[in-house]
Amino acid sequence: MDRRQQESVIAELIRSLGASLKNRRLYPPTHPSVRTPVDKCFTELLRIFAERSELVLVISDGTLVLDGVPIFTLTSSLELFMERLGAIGAPAVIFEKGLSTSDIENFIRFLHETTEQGLSAERIQEILATMGVKHIRVKPPEKDDEDDAAAAREIYDSAVQAVVSVLGEVRSGRIPSGAETDRVVRDMGGMLRKNRDAILALTLIKNFDEYTYNHSVNVAVLSLALADALALPETEKIEVGVAGLLHDVGKTQLALALIRKPGRLTDEEFEEIKKHPEEGYVLLGKMSHIRPGSAYMVLEHHMRSDRQGYPKRDPDYRFHANSGLISVSDCYDALTTMRSYQKARSPLEALELMKDLGGKSLPADLVAVLTKTMGPYPIGTTVRLNTMEVGVVTATGPAGPTRVMILADVNGAPLSKPETADLTEIIGTSGIVSRSVVGTANPLLYPAVVAGSFPAPAAN
């Protein structure tokens, strides 16, 4: 289902939960006014679980949000539902695939009967278990941007470790499981829905010594952001994310000296490099917990839209529908990364270059989606503000940057400690924002502060 259909289903689902809870105050559990909303909720959840394995409900700043979809039109039953969740201490609830109508009934009973307030997530989970609830769980709240940034960083580092583990096992001659890559991709997808900017900002991590690992995770994050923008079904998003994470796994079959060669490759060396998509395809085919779609995307990520890439295939060969997401993400992260043989492009420079490649080596429609997704000043862009301060964009909205990390003061002098500026902050009652972006700035004029603006990844 597309995003609009999904939002309609989610709104109906949450209304059914609220109606059942409200009617539980008036009627016994077997009354149709209680049972019918439960059955309706179960039916709507089945529709959603046809494309995903879980659904997350949270209360954030007084707003009910289900799987990233805010529910602004509140009925009295919905208000009661929110009030009970908040009072008991369950601001984040996860519905898992496999749940039954009895899970929903007992969860409603728990909300109706529980008199204790401010319970810990662990205590709530214990109570739900004693009531026979198997596929609904709760988790502690993550309240603000700092929490999100820390959670995003933990997910990013976990993904790096997953890549390190997979590549290490392959180099040792073993065939690893894909279970961990599947898990971290689901975590990244969840963070993208919760706080897109928190996880996208981490793609600015460019660790030269650990390029392969960071690049793999960055491509996975960017690919998932594109999949989100296209409203792909959840199963396809997981395939895309896993393919992004493992797109270069075939390079483990090549000599390390060749992979790490700092200069230009000879024709013979490049022919060796060109083998890595097929090697990766074979490896993914042997791994458990890897869907065939991921393997095909790994195989095809260098084939090019004009079919002039590698590996070569017959003219009538049909690409996997989502291979282009990996190609575009791979290109963007590579262009914005400093290598021994190339200077890093700024995000805007990379997007402009990719537009020229659209329809040739890259699918033009997906380059356009990436450009729209990243916004007029993508995260990572060095900008000058109306105050003459210089900073790096760390969050964006539909109209442009919403948050910037200030790196240099009005005189161009580096700050001893970078400061975060909210570009939506209003001065007084005039409706005028305190700071705004007036244009880009040359990051080469501020190399020290730009390089140090984001922490290095955790040690491997």
- If one counts every other C-beta atom within 10 angstroms of the C-beta of residue 262, the result is 7
Q: If we measure between CA atoms, which residue out of 154, 143, 333, 136 comes closest to residue 244?
A: 333
Q: What is the mean pLDDT of residues 208-217?
A: 81
pLDDT value at 157 more than 70: yes
Q: Which residues pair with 38 in a beta bridge?
A: none
pLDDT > 80? residue 446: no
Report pLDDT for 341: 63
Q: Which of 331-345, 390-404, 414-428 has the lowest mean pLDDT?
A: 414-428
Lowest mean pLDDT among 172-176, 236-240, 319-323, 448-452: 448-452
Q: Does position 140 have pLDDT exceeding 80, yes or no? A: no
pLDDT at 357 > cutoff 80: yes
- pLDDT interval class at 456 (50, 70, 90): very low
- For the residues 395-412, what does the mean pLDDT come to? 84
- At 145 the pLDDT is 58
User: What's the pLDDT score for residue 378?
Assistant: 92
CA distance 204 to 30: 55
Residues 335-345 have pLDDT tens digits of 998 776 677 88
Per-residue pLDDT averaged across 44-67, rounded?
Answer: 74
pLDDT at 237 over 90: yes
Distance CA 106, CA 100 (A): 10
Give the residue, 40 or 117, on which the prediction is more confident: 40
pLDDT value of position 63 = 65
Whether pLDDT at 167 is above 90? yes
Contact 302, 309 (CB under 8 A): yes
On the question of pLDDT at 310 being above 70, the answer is yes
Task: Report percent pLDDT > 70 for the chain.
Answer: 87
pLDDT at 64 over 60: yes
Q: Say which residue, 206 or 7, is predicted with more confidence.
A: 206
Q: How far, in Å, CA of 244 to CA of 227, rounded? A: 11
pLDDT for 3: 53
pLDDT at 448: 46
> pLDDT band at 222, cuts 50/70/90?
very high
Question: Is residue 347 reached through a cis peptide bond, with omega within 30 degrees of 0 on the bond before it?
Answer: no
pLDDT over threshold 90, residue 51? no
Q: What is the pLDDT of residue 419?
A: 85
Question: Residue 68 has what pLDDT?
Answer: 60
Q: Answer yes or no: pTM beyond 0.75.
A: no
Alpha carbon 329 to chain centroid distance? 13
pLDDT recorded at residue 5:
66
- The pLDDT, as a whole number, for residue 50 is 81
Q: Rounded to the nearest 5 degrees, what angle is found at the Cα of 218, between the Cα atoms of 302 and 216?
A: 55
Q: What integer is the mean pLDDT of 387-413?
A: 86
Is there a contact between 40 and 93 (Cβ–Cβ < 8 Å)?
no
pLDDT, residue 443, reads 76
> What mean pLDDT value characterizes the chain?
84
Rounded distance between C-alpha atoms, residue 434 and residue 128, angstroms: 48
pLDDT for 450: 44
Domains and CATH numbers, the chain: 3-138 (no CATH), 145-374 (1.10.3210.10), 382-451 (no CATH)
Q: Give 161 or 53, the one with higher predicted confidence.
A: 161
Beta-carbon count within 10 A of 192 CB? 23
Share of the chain above pLDDT 90, in %: 40
